[in-house]
Amino acid sequence: MERLLMTPGPTNIPREVFKSMSYNIHHRTDEFMHIMDRADKKLMRVFGSKNEILILSCSGTGGLEASVVNMFSPGDKLLCINCGVFGKRYADIARAYGVDVTELKSELGYGIRMEALEKELEKNHYKAVYATYSETSTGIKNDIKEIGDIVKKYDSLFIIDAVSALGCLKLDVDEYGVDVAVAGSQKGLMCPPGLSLISMSDRAWLETQKSRIAKFYFDFGKYKNLRMPYTPCTSLILGLDKALDMILGEGLENVYKRHSIYSKAVKEAALIMNLVEFPDRRFDSEVLTALYVPQDIDEKALRRGMYNRGIVIAGGQGKLKGNIIRIGHIGYLKNEFIIRTIGTLGSVLNEMGYKNDTGSAILRAEEIINTL
Amino acid sequence: MERLLMTPGPTNIPREVFKSMSYNIHHRTDEFMHIMDRADKKLMRVFGSKNEILILSCSGTGGLEASVVNMFSPGDKLLCINCGVFGKRYADIARAYGVDVTELKSELGYGIRMEALEKELEKNHYKAVYATYSETSTGIKNDIKEIGDIVKKYDSLFIIDAVSALGCLKLDVDEYGVDVAVAGSQKGLMCPPGLSLISMSDRAWLETQKSRIAKFYFDFGKYKNLRMPYTPCTSLILGLDKALDMILGEGLENVYKRHSIYSKAVKEAALIMNLVEFPDRRFDSEVLTALYVPQDIDEKALRRGMYNRGIVIAGGQGKLKGNIIRIGHIGYLKNEFIIRTIGTLGSVLNEMGYKNDTGSAILRAEEIINTL
């Protein structure tokens, strides 16, 4: 049974994308170079960058590591905004390479507060500041534009994890002052996992020349000007080219709006079903809905119940394991995916003894979706 | 126009593999874990390993780099058998990480001679010896079994690049004494590029614990026991699972024989068309046929002529650029792919003024193929 993927990635893939992937092509041909070139131009629009986007064959974590090994030298000072698993991961990667990392933590379920950031940057100078745009482990988002303004004031580089955000939340790296943004193919970009996409500002490119960390496969310089130093994931790039057509055809603003409406539908339906959101409302991300598991409900059994009815949702990570469930509403979605997810969640909960008015929840979700 | 890929990879992909890839699945599910597990067991048979095979999301070069950063520490001594571009690449990767590399070069078009290897190993002790199984830049293969016997005698680790060899040339890593073998998805395994597959001996696993090179994404320990520390290329793994069924269904010995027969057909046909093989016959690889470009024939125009008639072949790399063409006959092939390639090559050469008896070449190829 092919299941509906309602997780914060990997997401559902449109059949058109699978179809585009199913094509024999060699990377050292005019045909492929042309596709790389046009796909990259579309990516530049999605990132909001005037510079080319690097396309690496690896997961998002590989792309984040690549940003570390190209931007830093051992001993460089990095302020890592840590709002959950993915913020901590960046700190771990950087430490593995000898970067001098300071973590600025938010409470779980909160984004970073600007006063805390500003206070830290007043006290100490950092070569770079890192933030996660959408932290999928807790369901929050950080205000990247506001953070960018502050970071520039203190003359640091600004690096963001946009893996789950790109193509869902508004992003304009040039306008927001983001020097390095790392994304992945398997989230808002509606492709299978396997590609990491990275935007670089002019200043970030300059900075790469100072880096003294050993690297080979992830050496950005080798990828410049759309060169392909090593065999790229041809089939995924064909799929990406198609997915970008769909995204830009819909219009970026419409795509953001769709994500926002679907997010609202799931969140309001959850409320009607007496489920409580985990993140603080002020930091709520439209990428996913993270919900407390009701008392007396076994989280694993709940997810298993949905899985058996054809829907994959995610559990908690790290400290939140067993305590929350996470419903992703990201990338390729149709109205019925949302309704089906709400209906199935409500019915499984009812069956497990957590009584709720699933019908009213569905009705409210339908009303919200109809504003699209 | 979907072209025939007659290069030493990426290769043609069976439609069944594309179809298997076109399926929504989340990696953190029982369904996917089951597929990973069974695909890995099939890989173990193809490698001839009693240990699990690591599946990394990266190109073959990424996998080779991963072997360096897990097996070595700065200053460790590596003897790198260099028979062309890919042998040199391994030396370059290892040097980037501070490994003390000695290159043992063969002439271009030759594999390594055992006396040269033995002489070097008598003189100096190396922590590890590296060899390329099939060196696609020149069309040669090294005798991995014989090299393995020598390497063991001198108590070094044995690391091989099996990227273009796996699934084409006989390999049995346990029997041959290979400690680390690195392969890729886009060659004999009949899948698109994007996965690197790595076998590790028990001794190699022990060795990883001593390594002092910084790493994160490529840290083998995190992948042990089929764990997926970072989102894997789900769609490629689905495709690989299918391709492995096809390979094992045909039978490994039959697969090797098929490659050998196709190779013979192309090589004998080329001879009839008055084309001269580049590599020395004693080291000839069945993965590809590397041919001198005839005098007065422009290599680019020759490849362009074939490209315009729907067939992609490769040119030379490095020093051999412009001087040779390379025809891959690897992975997913049908009889007519071979005949079509020979016919098109002969006709394009005739058109360019290099007169040859293409008909007789085709007839001879057909005879050889009929022995299958």
pLDDT in tens, B259-304: 999 999 999 999 999 999 999 999 999 999 999 999 999 999 999 9
Q: Answer yes or no: are the C-beta atoms of A309 and A316 closer than 8 Å.
A: no
B9 touches chain A (CB under 8 A): yes
Give the contacts of A367 (CB within 8 A, at least 6 positions apart): none
Average pLDDT of span A106-111: 98
3-state percent breakdown (helix, strand, coil) of chain A, nearest 5: 45, 15, 40
Determine, for residues A194 and B57 on separate chains, whether the beta-carbon distance falls below 8 Å: yes
B26 touches chain A (CB under 8 A): yes
CA contacts within 13 A on the Cβ side of A197: 35
A33 touches chain B (CB under 8 A): no
> What's residue A41's pLDDT?
98
Residues in A touching B18 (Cβ below 8 Å): 21-22
> What's residue A122's pLDDT?
98
> What's residue B48's pLDDT?
98
B222 touches chain A (CB under 8 A): no
What SS3 state is found at A297? coil
Determine, for residues B307 and A29 on separate chains, whether the beta-carbon distance falls below 8 Å: yes
Distance (Å, whole) CA B202 – CA B179: 8
* Consecutive H or E run containing A197: strand A195-200
How far does B63 lie from chain A, in Å, by closest CA?
9
pLDDT in tens, B162-199: 999 999 999 999 999 999 999 999 999 999 999 999 99
Other CB atoms within a 10 A radius of the CB of residue A46 amount to 23
Average pLDDT of span A171-196: 98
A294 touches chain B (CB under 8 A): no
Binned at pLDDT 50, 70 and 90, residue A269 comes out as very high
User: Tokens 């302020």 sit at which residue?
Assistant: A79
List of domains in chain B: 15-250 (3.40.640.10), 251-369 (3.90.1150.10)
B331 touches chain A (CB under 8 A): no
Cα dihedral B6, B10, B15, B16 in deg (nearest 10): 130
Residues in B touching A24 (Cβ below 8 Å): 2-5, 12-13
Task: Pull the structure tokens for residue B194.
Answer: 């994007």
How far does A194 lie from chain B, in Å, by closest CA?
5
Distance (Å, whole) CA B252 – CA B15: 21
C-alpha dist (Å) from residue A55 to A44, A166, B75, B196: 11, 14, 33, 17
Show which of residues 88-107 on chain B sit within 8 Å of chain A, judged by CB atoms: 92-93, 96-98
Q: What mean pLDDT is reported for chain A?
A: 98
Average pLDDT of span A139-168: 98
Burial of B369 (0-12, 13-18, 19+ CB in 10 A): middle
What SS3 state is found at B294? coil
B295 touches chain A (CB under 8 A): no
Other CB atoms within a 10 A radius of the CB of residue B51 amount to 16
pLDDT in tens, A324-342: 999 999 999 999 999 999 9
B15 touches chain A (CB under 8 A): yes
What is Dmax (Cα atoms) for chain A? 61
Cα dihedral B337, B343, B345, B349 in deg (nearest 10): -170
Average pLDDT of span B235-260: 98
How far does B282 lie from chain A, in Å, by closest CA?
29
> What's residue B143's pLDDT?
98
Q: Answer yes or no: are the C-beta atoms of B217 and A65 closer than 8 Å.
A: yes
Give the contacts of B140 (CB within 8 A, at least 6 positions apart): B83, B84, B106, B109, B110, B111, B134, B279, B280, B283, B284, B285
C-alpha dist (Å) from residue B144 to B130, B152, B160, B210, B284: 10, 12, 8, 26, 14
> What's residue A271's pLDDT?
98
For residue B62, the 8-state DSSP code is H
Determine, for residues B25 and A3 on separate chains, whether the beta-carbon distance falls below 8 Å: yes
Residues in B touching A5 (Cβ below 8 Å): 24-26
A192 touches chain B (CB under 8 A): yes
Task: Pull the structure tokens for residue A348.
Answer: 């499984």
- A-B contacts (CB, under 8 Å): 176
Burial of A355 (0-12, 13-18, 19+ CB in 10 A): exposed
CA contacts within 13 A on the Cβ side of A297: 24
B305 touches chain A (CB under 8 A): no
B70 touches chain A (CB under 8 A): no
Average pLDDT of span B26-50: 98
Residues in A touching B235 (Cβ below 8 Å): 13, 21, 192-194, 235-236
Give the contacts of A270 (CB within 8 A, at least 6 positions apart): A277, A289, A291, A342, A345, A361
Determine, for residues A97 and B29 on separate chains, whether the beta-carbon distance falls below 8 Å: no
pLDDT in tens, A31-86: 999 999 999 999 999 999 999 999 999 999 999 999 999 999 999 999 999 999 99
Q: Answer yes or no: are the C-beta atoms of A181 and A63 closer than 8 Å.
A: no
> What's residue A91's pLDDT?
98
Give the contacts of A11 (CB within 8 A, at least 6 positions apart): A5, A186, A187, A188, A190, A328, A330, A331, A332
Determine, for residues B29 and A214 on separate chains, whether the beta-carbon distance falls below 8 Å: no
B97: nearest CB among A15, A214, A234 = A214
Determine, for residues A231 and B57 on separate chains, whether the beta-carbon distance falls below 8 Å: no
Backbone angle region of B302, left / alpha / beta, with phi > 0 → left and psi within -120 to 50 → alpha: alpha
CA-CA-CA-CA torsion sign (B25, B29, B31, B32): positive
What SS3 state is found at A288? strand
Q: What mean pLDDT is reported for chain B?
A: 98
Determine, for residues A57 and B60 on separate chains, whether the beta-carbon distance falls below 8 Å: no
Q: Answer yes or no: are the C-beta atoms of A175 and A316 closer than 8 Å.
A: no
Distance (Å, whole) CA A368 – CA A237: 35
Omega of the bond leading into A10 within 30 degrees of 0 (cis): yes
Average pLDDT of span B227-251: 98
- Nearest CA among A153, A127, A133, A144 for reference residue A68: A127
Determine, for residues A58 and B57 on separate chains, whether the beta-carbon distance falls below 8 Å: yes
Burial of B6 (0-12, 13-18, 19+ CB in 10 A): buried
Residues in A touching B307 (Cβ below 8 Å): 29
Three-class SS of A43-80: HHHHHCCCCCEEEEECCHHHHHHHHHHHHCCCCCEEEE
- Indicate whether this complex's ipTM tops 0.95: yes
A199 touches chain B (CB under 8 A): no
Q: Which of A235, A242, A341 to mutate to test the interface with B (most CBs of B within 10 A)?
A: A235
Average pLDDT of span A350-364: 98
